[in-house]
């Protein structure tokens, strides 16, 4: 028999423990720990009549030290953390002979210097390198007065192209290629989603072998992979041949604060993101219901001192239900996070940098103000990080930073909704959506 029943005495009590003669001594100590709640490393096992003695061979040395910082694996990093790590790891030089290498190094140094201070930091060196690498951005304005107005989307894409050429991609994946979702505007376009779907559907003329003539075909494209960050470019500038001039489209086009991009996805991708997407929406709804109960119970408790009819108080308490404790809420949220992680499709879980749910929150906007395409004023709007003191408030912030040259101010979501367009005031030109958090 490989298992022998033995009796272990501790603190005046006797425990029945099975000793497996084929296993190591550590296993026996772990079996004792289950009975006595004493960790194996704190146990000293004796037999009746004396202490067991063992000979230990080896040289004593220092115990291995734990890492000073927790080890973070690539699959555990967010897309912005991956980008930051890739930039920091880049060893190129600003004076490199290759323009893209020089621009990548300049951006790395810019982010590095900005992270060292909270004071205003002019990106003069980065702009100098950009204008050297891409001379079109060094064009001077007619009549003097400094540099000419440049298209923000062209600059944005130029920088992304440089990064894609020199920053390493994830192991086993193709190199990142910057792409924008381009929303085509027509006289009937009133909504961003409709404009993108219209762009993904094209009418083309092609010769038909069956008909023996040119026929009109409908070409429908769909997205096979959704990234962690999604750029949307509103094509508001176009060339008018009749006046031989670049013109701005001021049409009002609404865009969502929350975007479900599965409507642009292929059938295969749509089926992969659906379980997690539905789970996220369900969890958000349940959390909001619990938050409402907490707010009602808190307000009810604060009004206890006011005189009221006891029957009305009892009815109100019954309708609002019982709010769970903070510990119960934490435990429930941990279970929700585990359920969300389990809902991710295996193919998407192994794809670093993808959005496994297809759900996005609007994170940043670049706007253009003015009627002229080659003039006007660009501004950026960036959503604040949620700094609520309530640990259970994980919803995106309702406040935004408005960057107007060197002036920074805070605005609310209602101001963002005025950027739809329809006039010469600031209008959305580039939108940046961020994948919905699983927290």
Residue 111 lies in a domain: yes
* pLDDT for the residue 210: 87
Same domain for 96 and 173, yes or no, is yes
Residue 211 lies in a domain: no
Indicate whether 313 pLDDT > 80.
no
* Residue that wins the pLDDT comparison between 88 and 34: 34
Same domain for 82 and 171, yes or no, is yes
Q: Return the residue matching tokens 């008909």.
A: 211
| End residue of a domain, out of 51, 67, 88 | 51
Same domain for 274 and 331, yes or no, is yes
Domain of 42, in residue numbers: 3-51
Residue 106 lies in a domain: yes
The pLDDT tens digits of the residues spanning 226-240 come to 989 999 988 888 888
Residue 216 lies in a domain: no
CA distances from 50 to 6, 46, 47 (A): 16, 7, 6
Same domain for 42 and 81, yes or no, is no
Residue 133 lies in a domain: yes
Indicate whether 170 pLDDT > 80.
no
Same domain for 45 and 93, yes or no, is no
Residue 154 lies in a domain: yes
CB 224 within 8 A of CB 215: no
CATH of the domain at 38: 3.10.20.90
pTM exceeding the 0.85 threshold for the entire prediction: no
* pLDDT for the residue 368: 94
Same domain for 86 and 15, yes or no, is no
Same domain for 83 and 148, yes or no, is yes
The average confidence (pLDDT) of the chain is 81
**Closest listed residue to residue 248, CA positions, set 131, 381, 152, 130:** 152
CA torsion sign for 390, 395, 398, 401 is positive
Same domain for 43 and 90, yes or no, is no
Residue 353 lies in a domain: no
Q: How confident is the model at residue 360 (pLDDT cuts 50, 70, 90)?
A: very high
Q: How many domains in the chain?
A: 3
Q: Give the β-pairing of 359-369 and 377-383.
A: antiparallel
Q: Average pLDDT, stretch 168-195?
A: 69
CB 43 within 8 A of CB 33: yes
| End residue of a domain, out of 178, 198, 231 | 178
Q: How far apart are CA 376 and CA 141, in angstroms?
A: 13
| End residue of a domain, out of 121, 149, 178 | 178
Q: Average pLDDT, stretch 105-134?
A: 89
Same domain for 171 and 104, yes or no, is yes
Same domain for 37 and 83, yes or no, is no
* pLDDT for the residue 316: 40
With a pLDDT cut of 70, the percent of the chain lying above it is 79
Same domain for 31 and 100, yes or no, is no
Which two three-digit tokens encode residue 381?
Answer: 């709007």
């Amino acid at each position: 028999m490989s298992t022998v029943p033995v009796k272990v005495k501790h603190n005046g009590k006797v425990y029945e423990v099975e000793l497996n003669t084929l296993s190591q001594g550590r296993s026996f100590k772990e079996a004792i720990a289950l009975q006595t709640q004493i960790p194996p490393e704190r146990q000293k096992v004796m037999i009746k009549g004396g202490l067991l003695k063992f000979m230990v061979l080896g040289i004593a040395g220092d115990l291995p030290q734990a890492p000073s910082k927790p080890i973070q694996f690539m699959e555990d990093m967010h897309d912005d953390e991956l980008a930051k790590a890739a930039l920091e790891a880049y060893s190129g030089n600003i004076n490199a002979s290759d323009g893209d290498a020089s621009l990548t190094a300049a951006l790395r140094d810019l982010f590095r210097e900005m992270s060292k201070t909270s004071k205003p930091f002019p990106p003069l060196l980065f702009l100098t390198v950009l204008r050297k690498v891409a001379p079109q951005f060094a064009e001077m304005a007619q009549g003097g007065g400094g540099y000419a107005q440049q298209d923000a989307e062209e600059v944005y894409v130029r920088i992304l192209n440089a990064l894609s050429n020199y920053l390493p991609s994830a192991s086993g994946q193709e190199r990142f290629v910057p792409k924008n979702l381009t929303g085509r505007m027509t006289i009937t376009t009133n909504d961003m989603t409709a404009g993108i779907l219209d762009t993904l559907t094209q009418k083309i003329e092609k010769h038909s072998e069956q008909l023996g003539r040119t026929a009109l075909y409908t070409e429908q494209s769909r997205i096979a992979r959704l990234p962690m960050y999604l750029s949307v470019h509103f094509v508001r500038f176009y060339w008018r041949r009749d006046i031989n001039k670049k013109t701005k489209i001021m049409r009002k086009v609404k865009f969502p604060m929350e975007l479900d991009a599965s409507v642009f996805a292929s059938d295969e991708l749509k089926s992969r993101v659906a379980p997690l997407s539905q789970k996220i929406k369900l969890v958000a709804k349940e959390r909001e219901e619990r938050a409402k109960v907490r707010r009602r119970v808190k307000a009810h408790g604060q009004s206890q001192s006011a005189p009221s009819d006891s029957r009305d108080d009892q009815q109100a308490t019954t309708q609002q239900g019982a709010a769970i404790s903070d510990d119960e809420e934490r435990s429930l949220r941990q279970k929700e996070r585990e359920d969300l992680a389990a809902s991710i499709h295996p193919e998407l879980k192994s794809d670093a940098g993808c959005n496994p749910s297809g759900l996005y929150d609007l994170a940043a906007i670049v706007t253009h103000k003015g009627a002229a395409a080659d003039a006007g004023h660009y501004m950026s709007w960036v959503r604040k990080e949620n700094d609520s003191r309530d640990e259970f408030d994980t919803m995106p912030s309702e406040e935004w930073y408005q960057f107007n040259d060197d002036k920074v101010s805070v605005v609310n979501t209602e101001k963002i909704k005025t950027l739809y367009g329809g006039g010469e005031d600031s209008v959305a030109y580039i939108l940046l959506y961020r994948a919905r958090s699983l927290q």
